Amino acid sequence: MENLSQWLTDFLSYIRAERRLAENTFLAYRSDLKKFINYCQKKKILLSEITAEQINSFLLEEKFSSHLRGSSLYRLIESIRQFFAFLVSEEYLNDRPDLTIDVPRLVRFQPETLSVEEVRRLLESVPTHTATGRRFRAMLELLYATGLRVSELINLPESAVNLSAGFCRVKGKGNKERIVPLGQTARNFLLRHLELQKKKYPDSPYLFVGKFGRPITRVAFWKQLKNHLRRIGINKPITPHTLRHSFATHLLSGGADLRAVQEMLGHSSLATTQIYTHPDRHYLKKQHQKFHPHG
């Protein structure tokens, strides 16, 4: 008899204790797999006998009933794959079922990015005659220079940044540490920012201090970015995460190695980084005009 509830509990205990996943990732796994198990119980499907067609039916049902985006569906697939891998490794199941899932039928997630010119306009239009302006410019420069997640940026201690050597040490998802290079432009603006911040908060360990000597909050940074975008007339749906997407896309468009970008972004899977390898539309248009008879 398959005890699906107990299997799920064991799997969740495993990923929390041994894989040290971030809380949001853990909750996503739990939510995804609860839906999957409820579906199997409702349809009276045994995991030891499940087929790829049955998994596809579940995914398509979720796609249309929950209006899931492509990125959420890919996460759902990965949750199921990891769950079955655990069940086989712990010998709850003898063999992993056929998981040849019909991925092309799912919507592919394409991250919103800025062009190089839009990034330049965004950065250079920030007024830096005040401490707040210097901090904001330094934060934007650091985001674009390193591809940090916003949560990583706002919690970054000053000790994690080595300005003379040009790198920062980041603790990302699952408490995993990585080293990310830091360009000269970002270093210059960080120095200018710290010059003023140290006068007001000499004992603060944080790189970016907000009110009352505490780290600046995600909401405060997002509001500052939103107001700035409105002021300079950029109407794209941009979030702080857009600079992370732009960092990765511009590196790969310039010829950077995919695995190097994976390391800098802190992705555990190369497949996650591959979403940034979508073709450059301007390059495709030039190629079409150059080589097509009616280009």
**Quick check: helix, strand or coil at residue 157?**
strand
Contact 79, 36 (CB under 8 A): yes
173 among known catalytic residues: yes
149 among known catalytic residues: yes
CA distances from 273 to 135, 142, 233, 263, 268 (A): 29, 20, 30, 9, 9
CA distances from 178 to 151, 155, 165, 172, 184 (A): 15, 15, 15, 8, 20
d(C-alpha 290, C-alpha 292), whole Å: 6
281 among known catalytic residues: no
CA 110 vs. chain centroid, Å, equals 12
241 among known catalytic residues: yes
Determine which one of 35, 121, 169, 173 is catalytic.
173
Contact 148, 171 (CB under 8 A): no
Region of 201 on the Ramachandran plot (φ > 0 left; ψ -120 to 50 alpha; else beta): beta
Q: Could you tell me which residues come within 8 angstroms of residue 109 by beta carbon, excluding any fewer than 6 positions away?
A: 69, 70, 71, 74, 275
Determine which one of 187, 244, 245, 250 is catalytic.
244
Determine which one of 149, 187, 193, 245 is catalytic.
149
Determine which one of 35, 171, 241, 278 is catalytic.
241
CA distances from 35 to 4, 40, 55, 108, 295 (A): 12, 9, 12, 22, 50
Return the active site residues: 149, 173, 241, 244, 267, 276
